[in-house]
Amino acid sequence: MTPASADGPGAATRPGLTPGLIAALGFVGMAGAVSTDLYLPSFPSLQADLGITEAAVQLTLTAFLIGAAGGQFAVGTVSDALGRRRTLVIALGLFSLVGFAASAAPTIEWLIALRLLQGLTGSVGAALARAIVADLEQGERAARGISILIAMMGLGPVFGSPLGAVLTQWGGWRLALVGLATVATAMFVVALLCIPESLPRERRHPARIGALLRNLGLLARDGAFLGFALAYALSYGAMMVYFGSSSFVVQRVLGESTLVYSLTFVASSIAFVLGGLLNGRLVRRHGAHAMIRIGQGLSLVSALALVAITLAGGLSLWAWIVLTCVFEAGCAMGMSNGSALTLRRAAIAAGAGSAALGLFQFGVAAVVSPIGGLWGSGTALPTVIGMAGVTLLAIAAAAVGRALERRA
């Protein structure tokens, strides 16, 4: 068997980062986002159908995030040894199968376990999409490629949330999960047919645990890498505080319908996409360090404004929409540049670097996502305080990363 046939289309020659490849990577990279966003509108339906608490519903999200943390850690690292394409295709195939099983879960315990497996397998999309960009581009070109990639991943909520709302209205949370599994199947087909191998055999690391752990150990001793990785993860975590409680804030606190909620979520998701695209245009002129500060600043100012309005008792639907849109645009900039700066430090092993980045991303998100439900679903205050607090931590992590990078 030739190298090309062993690893799929394009394995014999190194592919370029073409618009078509970016589009394919963006689509499979949506796996994690779609797994949460398509599912969020069904939270009240799940709670009512199974007769469980809001905290139990949010455990299904936390389980997914824990699984995604472990999955990104494993899949990115293993792909340094086995290649990107093979790892991607196998994991997305399993992601599709687990999705259909989750739609038939008989109890909340089964659903939590299957959501954990969804996280393990679905996390491959974003992890390997980032690694493939890092394989093919360097420096500001890589930062621009990742900005476009993250913007495309942000399209997941644009169709995912309305689709989830419609499916939930038609058939409850189970039909929403069937829809998610169907999208996962489409991702598997795209990976199989459209994404070539980006890591030549001569650049792969031995398929031995010692070699893989050695790469991770090198990255763990790089303080700048850890700082930027935490900045990226905390920006994502702040966004997940918003995601995890947004349906309850809009539907319970503001008294709006499932469809109105999905439209508010679409608006903020479009803002995320626009923030990523704007970052892609500006980063070549101003650099990733300046752009991460701008993005984090936008997120912090909008979150603090939400805190002030909520404390004053004046939170309205339009204030929520406008300020969460600004918040999401800032998160897109913070994540794009945080990811680029992190992977720039991980040139020795892009897969291991992307794996560590994903571990931080979903590990932090799993810890902070329940914050919004701490005081029940009748108030938005813990949600907006959590958004502001986690963003402050992201700013501090980026500052530490920059200081250590300068010292190095």
d(CA 8, CA 15): 12
d(CA 272, CA 279): 11
Q: Indicate whether 145 and 176 sit together in one domain.
A: yes
Given 205, 231, 251, the domain boundary residue is 205
Give the DSSP per-residue string, 182-220. Answer: HHHHHHHHHHHHH----S-GGGPPPS-HHHHHHHHHHHH
In terms of Cβ atoms closer than 10 Å to its own Cβ (0-12, 13-18, 19+), residue 90 is middle
| The model's pTM | 0.72
Given 155, 175, 205, the domain boundary residue is 205
Q: Is residue 29 part of a domain?
A: yes
Q: Indicate whether 196 and 247 sit together in one domain.
A: no
Domain assignment of residue 287, given as a range: 208-407
d(CA 305, CA 308): 5
The domain that holds 110 is classified in CATH as 1.20.1250.20
Instruction: Quote the pLDDT of residue 23.
Output: 86
Q: pLDDT by residue for the chain (408 residues), tens digit each? A: 333 334 554 444 455 678 888 889 989 988 877 887 788 778 878 888 888 877 788 788 888 888 887 887 777 667 877 888 989 999 999 999 999 999 999 999 999 999 999 998 988 888 888 778 877 876 666 667 777 777 777 777 777 778 888 898 898 889 999 999 999 999 999 999 999 888 787 777 665 666 667 777 777 788 888 999 999 999 999 998 998 788 888 888 888 887 788 889 889 988 998 998 888 788 878 888 899 999 999 999 999 999 999 999 889 999 999 999 999 999 999 998 888 888 787 766 666 676 777 778 878 887 887 787 666 557 888 899 999 999 999 999 999 999 998 887
Q: Indicate whether 242 and 94 sit together in one domain.
A: no
Token readout for 247 is 């349906």
